[in-house]
């Protein structure tokens, strides 16, 4: 596969995309007059093709755009719609709730129901609501710093936990530096953050032994730089070391909720001090949450100077609003059920098998990994063991080409990953459509003579 071939196919696919999507293009041109980059949130500029599709509707696992094309959606709102789009239980509940109350500064009757649902699912006894996973992480970190009095959180190289200032740090030549592209970092992240590679137990111990780490913030398996799975025994070591050095363990289940009903934590019996989650728990309505042990709660509330009720840095006016709580109740109790995972995981296995066969058929030096209902392929023959290894294997051009190729044939992948997520509404036909168009892409990329060789 040559760079020239990638470029040629990309140009052809871009022209096809433009020709097929005049209405999206028109809306994009108009939006450029009032929206930065022509989009309501700048990351939407990431879509391959030169402009994003504008979605007219999204139901189940299908998105229909303003030009009338229907897409098998494996992006599912980058996990925000892991429940499927607008699931009936959530949509109905939200409509009813909207007629009753939206936001009041008072808890609604759904509050304890949601707290109990989160407790039952993840095992942690006490919860707080936020509007996003980013906020859940920010507040969990603040709890950690407050109760330990230590300054520098620890993260794994190339992690992503939302737009949390302390986490925009990477390792360069063994030093902690601002992550590439970090927009206006408030302070040198070396002063707030320690970074080690995932699965590197020795580096983890050395960093924790410094005695200044309040908390480790970790996804149980990395999902944002491709999927990086923990080595056998890594989580045991992580938990033992954090306990030994008096460091709290925050597990971010926002994406790994794909693993099973109670995320990776429940599936593998992890014992975090705090757990954060967001994205699909409101079924598409903004919602996030963080849970904690009794001990963390007691220590947090015992801090004489910490202000939890006013301007202490933990909060959000609309956090815990009646609409989000109603949506969480419906999503947690009626949509993200055990039965739903029994359906989505076999679909993900089917997706994974399709990708694997195509990769093997072409002898492509790629691999595919699965985490419950989430599948990701990447451009290395072996699974990476660290974020650094995964980052080194990144190929933006190839990734964009593959995304555009499948998009032009009715399949949406997450623009930030080669990730596909199955929802309870995903069908076998949609999975097989991906297998077909992915195989066609590989046929073009790997088969036949290279351009210019006749």
Ligand X SMILES: Cc1ncc(COP(=O)(O)O)c(C=O)c1O
56/318 with CB nearer ligand X: 318
Cα–Cα distance for residue pair 251/216, rounded to 1 Å: 8
- Give min distance, CB of 52 to ligand X, in A: 17
Q: Are 153 and 250 in contact (CB under 8 A)?
A: no
Of 272, 300, 433, the closest CA to residue 354 belongs to 433
Sequence-separated (6 or more) residues with CB below 8 Å from residue 398? 6, 379
CB of 281 to ligand X, least distance (A): 10
Subset of 214-233 contacting ligand X (CB under 6 A): 219, 224
If binding means CB under 6 A, how many residues of this protein chain bind ligand X?
Answer: 14
Q: Quick one: which segment of 19-27, 129-137, 237-245, 406-414 binds ligand X (CB under 6 A)?
A: 129-137
Task: Assess 133 for contact with ligand X (CB under 6 A).
Answer: yes
Select the residue interacting with ligand X from 97, 132, 242, 258 (CB under 6 A).
132
Quick one: 255 or 403, whose CB is closer to ligand X?
255
Give the nearest distance from C-beta 276 to ligand X in angstroms: 7
Alpha-carbon gap, residue 173 to 157, rounded angstroms? 12
**Closer residue to ligand X in complex, CB, 41/99:** 41
For residue 20, the minimal CB distance to ligand X (Å) is 29
Residues 246-265 that bind ligand X (CB under 6 A): 252, 254-255
Q: Which is nearer to ligand X, 163 or 383 (CB)?
A: 163
List helix spans (H) across 374-427.
Answer: 387-392, 396-407
Contacts of 425 by beta carbon, 8 Å cutoff, 6+ apart: 60, 61, 84, 85, 87
Q: Are 196 and 203 in contact (CB under 8 A)?
A: yes
By CB under 6 A, what part of segment 14-33 binds ligand X?
Answer: none
Least distance (Å) between residue 264 CB and ligand X? 11
β-partners of residue 141 are: none
Beta bridge partners of 228: 222
Distance from C-alpha of 247 to C-alpha of 350, rounded to nearest angstrom: 40
Cα-to-chain-centroid distance, residue 39: 20
Q: How far is the CB of 254 from ligand X (least distance, A)?
A: 4
Q: Which is nearer to ligand X, 164 or 441 (CB)?
A: 164
Candidates 44-52, 160-168, 298-306, 422-430 — which segment interacts with ligand X by CB under 6 A?
160-168
**Structure tokens belonging to residue 45:** 């500029």
Q: Find, among 371, 438, 434, the residue nearest to 61 by Cα.
A: 434
Residues 6+ apart with CB under 8 A from 216: 153, 154, 155, 204, 208, 238, 242, 247, 248, 249, 250
Query: Is there binding between residue 128 and ligand X (CB under 6 A)?
Result: no
161 vs 370 by CB, closer to ligand X:
161
Question: Which region, judged by CB under 6 A, interacts with ligand X, from 42-50, 92-100, 132-140, 359-367?
Answer: 132-140
Query: Shortest distance, CB of residue 415 to ligand X, whole angstroms?
Result: 12
- Tell me the closest approach of the beta carbon of residue 2 to ligand X, in angstroms: 33
Contact predicate 135/316, CB 8 Å: yes
Q: Crossing angle for the helix pair 396-407 and 3-20, nearest 10 degrees?
A: 40
Among 49, 52, 115, 162, binds ligand X (CB under 6 A): 162
Nearer to ligand X, 13 or 135 (CB): 135
326: part of which helix (H) or strand (E)? helix 322-330
Question: Considering the complex, what minimum distance in angstroms separates the CB of residue 66 from ligand X?
Answer: 25
Half-sphere exposure of 253 (CA within 13 A, CB side): 32
Of the pair 164, 411, the CB lying nearest ligand X is at 164
Residue nearest to ligand X (CB): 162
Beta pairing, strands 193-196 & 153-156: parallel
For ligand X, which stretch binds (CB under 6 A), given 5-13, 68-76, 155-163, 385-393? Answer: 155-163
In this structure, what token pair is assigned to residue 297?
A: 């709660």
Please pick, from the candidates 161, 367, 403, 434, the single residue that binds ligand X as defined by CB under 6 A: 161
157 counts as binding ligand X under rule CB under 6 A: no
What DSSP character marks residue 231?
P
Q: Within 10 A of 111 (CB to CB), how many other CB atoms are there? A: 17
Query: Binding to ligand X by residue 160, rule CB under 6 A?
Result: yes
Shortest Cβ 162–ligand X spacing (Å): 3
From residue 272 to residue 291, the character string flagging contacts with ligand X as x (rule: CB under 6 A) and all else as - is ------xx------------
Q: Residue 120: CB partners within 8 Å, gap ≥ 6?
A: none
Task: Scan residues 399-438 and list those touching ligand X (CB under 6 A).
Answer: none
**b (16+ CB within 10 A) / e for 353-391:** ebbbebbeebebebbbbbbbbbbbbbbbeeebbbbbbbe
Residue ranges in contact with ligand X by CB under 6 A: 132-134, 137, 160-162, 219, 224, 252, 254-255, 278-279
């Amino acid at each position: 596969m040559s760079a020239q071939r990638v470029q040629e196919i990309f140009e052809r696919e871009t022209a096809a995309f433009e020709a097929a999507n005049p209405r999206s293009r028109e809306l994009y041109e108009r939006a450029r007059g009032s929206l930065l980059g022509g989009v309501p949130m700048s990351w939407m500029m990431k879509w391959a093709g030169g402009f994003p599709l504008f979605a007219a509707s999204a139901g189940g696992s299908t998105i229909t755009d303003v030009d009338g094309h229907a897409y098998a959606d494996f992006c599912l709102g980058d996990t925000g719609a892991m429940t499927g789009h607008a699931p009936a239980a959530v949509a109905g509940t939200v409509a009813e709730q909207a007629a009753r109350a939206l936001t009041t500064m008072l808890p609604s009757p759904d509050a304890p129901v949601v707290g109990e649902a989160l407790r039952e699912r993840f095992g942690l006894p006490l919860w707080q609501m936020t509007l996003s996973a980013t906020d859940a992480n920010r507040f969990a970190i603040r709890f950690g710093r407050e109760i330990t009095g230590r300054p520098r959180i620890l993260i794994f190289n190339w992690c992503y936990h939302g737009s949390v200032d302390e986490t925009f740090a990477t390792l360069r030549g063994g030093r902690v530096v601002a992550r590439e592209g970090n927009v206006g970092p408030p302070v040198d992240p070396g002063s707030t953050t320690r970074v080690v590679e995932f699965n590197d137990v020795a580096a983890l111990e050395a960093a924790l032994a410094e005695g200044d780490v309040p908390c480790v913030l970790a996804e149980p398996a990395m999902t944002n730089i491709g999927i990086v799975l923990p080595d056998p025994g890594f989580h045991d070591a992580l938990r033992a070391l954090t306990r030994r050095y008096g460091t709290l363990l925050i597990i971010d289940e926002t994406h790994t909720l794909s693993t099973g009903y109670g995320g990776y934590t429940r599936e593998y019996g992890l014992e975090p001090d705090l757990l954060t989650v967001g994205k699909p728990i409101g079924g598409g309505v903004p919602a996030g949450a963080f849970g904690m042990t009794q001990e963390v709660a007691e220590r947090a509330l015992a801090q004489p100077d910490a202000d939890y009720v006013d301007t202490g840095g933990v909060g959000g006016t609309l956090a815990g609003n009646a609409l989000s709580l109603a949506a969480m109740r419906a999503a947690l109790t009626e949509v993200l059920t055990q039965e739903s995972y029994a359906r989505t995981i076999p679909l993900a296995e089917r997706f994974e098998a399709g990708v694997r066969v195509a990769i093997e058929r072409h002898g492509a030096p790629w691999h595919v990994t699965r985490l419950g209902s989430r599948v990701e392929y990447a451009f290395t023959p072996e699974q990476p063991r660290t974020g650094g290894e995964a980052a080194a294997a990144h190929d933006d051009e190839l990734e964009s080409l593959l995304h555009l190729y499948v998009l032009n044939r009715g399949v949406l992948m997450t623009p930030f990953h080669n990730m596909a997520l199955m929802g309870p509404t995903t069908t076998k036909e949609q999975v097989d459509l991906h297998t077909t168009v992915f195989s066609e892409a590989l046929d073009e990329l790997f088969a036949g003579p290279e351009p210019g060789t006749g």
